[in-house]
Amino acid sequence: MKEFQLIEQFFKNKGQKRRDVMLGIGDDCALVQPAEGKVIAISCDTLVEGVHFFADMPAHALGYKSLAVNLSDLAAMGAEPAWMTLALSLPDVNQQWLADFSSGLFEAAEYYGVALVGGDTTRGPRCINVTINGQVPKGKALKRSGAKIGDWVFVTGSLGDSALGLDMLRNKQVIKPEHKEYLLNRHYYPTPRVLAGQALRGLASSAIDLSDGLVSDLSHILKASNVGAVIDANAIPLSSSLTESVGAEQALAYALTGGEDYELLFTVPEAQRGAIDTALLHAGVKFVKIGQICSGNKIKFTLDGQPFTPEFKGFEHF
Amino acid sequence: MKEFQLIEQFFKNKGQKRRDVMLGIGDDCALVQPAEGKVIAISCDTLVEGVHFFADMPAHALGYKSLAVNLSDLAAMGAEPAWMTLALSLPDVNQQWLADFSSGLFEAAEYYGVALVGGDTTRGPRCINVTINGQVPKGKALKRSGAKIGDWVFVTGSLGDSALGLDMLRNKQVIKPEHKEYLLNRHYYPTPRVLAGQALRGLASSAIDLSDGLVSDLSHILKASNVGAVIDANAIPLSSSLTESVGAEQALAYALTGGEDYELLFTVPEAQRGAIDTALLHAGVKFVKIGQICSGNKIKFTLDGQPFTPEFKGFEHF
């Protein structure tokens, strides 16, 4: 199967259509019409076999996740998803694998309204790069740099599930049958908080998506905003699947350093705190206050009201 | 060296600055301001070690070429280069290699006015993906689909040099010392015809860049435009380095199927033919008429005024 046929069969004229795509796959470039009064948000993420995913990861999940992790970056800016390109390197042409991958990719694309406008398919070690374009009203993007002393720190969803799902796949943790599907889905099918991100425009002072773990990603906000934070470890949202599987202490470790949650971490000034409930009501996502921005440049933790220093692998890096 | 440090040292705040980049590397997304009255042209190309380049390709050339091949796609649409993202997979962190790669990439970026706004660096088999964004006035983009019967067929520059340069590197051809540097540069440092592409807006009826070879790329225009073409093989521009190295017959084979020329192939209606000279004067590139669009859906060749069927490897595919 030649590249042209492969694109024709699995990627061209599939998935979400958008009126602002004036020319899609099949020319030297795609042409898209940006909306008036908006700026373009651009991000890209690469997934490499053996580094970011195992060779036996189901192709449907891989297709879905390749887009979801990029959508999560748009969510963290408060941007509306628009267009993507896909660079796909494959060691061979496996039609079933391609059908499944394409199906997972377009499932996410249709749900979030993204059009695939171009790409490149090449022979090579299995590797997927999605470059995503979103749009956000001028001056309304959520950045990492806006957190101020006194702002409240929030997160969406629950943390640590994806990392435990990964350890389950690696046979590093034995999980009860009733929790397996939930944890696997949290790892394979993360939910980018796209609507929540848009709802936070004008309310949140800063935002980031949790790809590397709470400690690491909160540190990015603190560095960019030149502030510190006090985090109440008791307030960090943990699923029952996580705590029942590994106990409270290890659950906290997963939540703080596990990574790949793709939840949003954001800060809100006191004056906007009341408006958050209403704004996020329609986004259909739980969120919870876990701390407050303070002076300094470090993260301090409390547990049961007492200062607390998490001690586990990974923490010393930050 | 961690990813953050690598980006900081080799990629962040380097190269071309643009006033329309409102937020560059370092947040979840970059933010860019599209120009009024223009549409965005998007393209991406991947280069995989062992497939698109040899492991010993100089990193400077690889950096330059990674961007140049994408700029060539913008040129073929008549678009002005604007922003790019870089997805870089590397098996290890070699600081000298990275310094050279970055230097080559930014040499092209500065010359053509492209800002690096984001990307992803990962561990993995060596692989480079650049996704480029350009801008083109609404309704003025050059497409593959506009060629009409009677239009003249033109190409820029000379064809086949890059493919011979590659065969020289592969030790498939022995080249005289006086031609080596020229052929190597044509392979390692292709010149994307960015200004020529912009100059052709409103004049050319269709355009494509020559990445796969004249026969293959002209076929894309014919298919998209639903027409045929008669090409005068004597008119195809060949460099003296090419003809002196391999003789006239083999030179033609390189020109027709060699690939990686990154010259422009375009069609011009008779009514615009006189305007082409003036328009391309400032683009600083030679161009020549090589044939005419006709009915049918095939490429017919003439040589010395007689019908001619090229017979060489690769031709039968089209």
Q: Is B192 left (phi over 0), alpha (psi -120 to 50) or beta?
A: beta
CA B58 – CA B184 distance, rounded (Å) = 11
Residues contacting residue B317 through CB under 8 Å, at least 6 positions apart: B216
The rounded mean pLDDT for chain B is 94
The pLDDT assigned to A315 comes to 40
Distance from CA of B184 to the nearest CA of A (A): 24
Note which residues in 163-182 of chain B have CB less than 8 A from chain A: none
A-B C-beta contacts closer than 8 Å = 185
Residues in chain A closer than 8 A to B143 (CB atoms): 23, 27
Model confidence over B131-186: pLDDT tens digits?
999 999 999 999 999 999 999 999 999 999 999 999 999 999 999 999 999 999 99
- Give the pLDDT confidence score for residue A134 in this predicted structure: 98
Report the pLDDT value the prediction gives residue A49, as an integer from 0 to 100. 94
End-to-end CA distance of chain A: 48
Is residue A228 pLDDT above 60, yes or no?
A: yes
Percent of chain A beyond pLDDT 70? Answer: 97
Which domains are seen in chain B, by residue range? 3-137 (3.30.1330.10), 152-309 (3.90.650.10)
The model's pLDDT over B5-63, given as tens digits with 9 standing for 90+, comes to: 888 888 888 877 899 999 999 999 999 999 999 999 999 999 999 999 999 999 999 99
Which one-letter amino acid corresponds to residue A164? L
Residues 6 or more apart in contact with residue A26 via CB below 8 angstroms: A12, B144, B224
Q: What is the DSSP string of A10-59?
A: HTTT-S---TTEEE-BTBSSEEE-PPTTEEEEEEEEEEEBTTTB-TTS-H
Place of tokens 């961007």: B67
Contact B129 A46 (CB under 8 A): yes
Task: Report yes or no: B155 and B236 within 8 Å, Cβ to Cβ.
Answer: yes
Q: How confident is the model at residue A5 (pLDDT cuts 50, 70, 90)?
A: confident
pLDDT for B74-92, tens place per residue?
A: 999 999 999 999 999 999 9
Residues B249-287: pLDDT tens digits?
999 999 999 999 999 999 999 999 999 999 998 888 999
Residues in chain B: 318
Q: Nearest-CA distance from A310 to chain B in Å?
A: 23
Amino acid letter for position B117: V
Helix and strand tally (H, E) in chain B? Answer: 9, 13
Residue B143: closest C-alpha in chain A: A27
| Confidence (pLDDT) at B314 | 47
Interface subset of B 16-75, CB within 8 angstroms of A: 22-23, 26-34, 36, 39-46, 48, 50-52, 73-74
User: In the prediction, which pLDDT does A3 show?
Assistant: 75
Using the Cβ of A122 and the Cβ atoms of chain B, whether some distance falls under 8 Å is answered with: yes
Residue-wise pLDDT tens digits, A72-105: 999 999 999 999 999 999 999 999 999 999 999 9
Residue B312: pLDDT band by 50, 70, 90 thresholds?
Answer: low
CB-based contact A43 B26, cutoff 8 Å? no
In this prediction, residue A318 has a pLDDT band, given cuts at 50, 70 and 90, of very low
Q: Is the pLDDT of residue B219 over 50?
A: yes
What would the pLDDT profile of A298-315 be if each residue is shown by its tens digit? Answer: 999 999 999 999 875 544
Q: What is the model's pLDDT at position B12?
A: 85
**B115 contacts chain A (CB < 8 A):** no
- Is B20 labelled a binding residue? no
pLDDT at B3: 74
Residues from chain B contacting residue A117 (CB–CB below 8 Å): 42
Mean residue pLDDT across chain A = 94
pLDDT score at B226: 97
With contacts defined as CB-CB under 8 Å, which chain A residues touch B209?
28
Q: Which of B3, B27, B66, B144 to mutate to test the interface with A (most CBs of A within 10 A)?
A: B27
- Best mutation site among B29, B66, B201, B218 for testing chain A: the one with the most A CBs within 10 Å? B29
ipTM: 0.94
Question: What is the Cα–Cα distance from B253 to B18, expressed in whole angstroms?
Answer: 42
pLDDT at A281: 85
3-state secondary structure at position B302: strand
For A188-200, how does the pLDDT look when each residue is reduced to its tens digit (9 = 90+)?
999 999 999 999 9
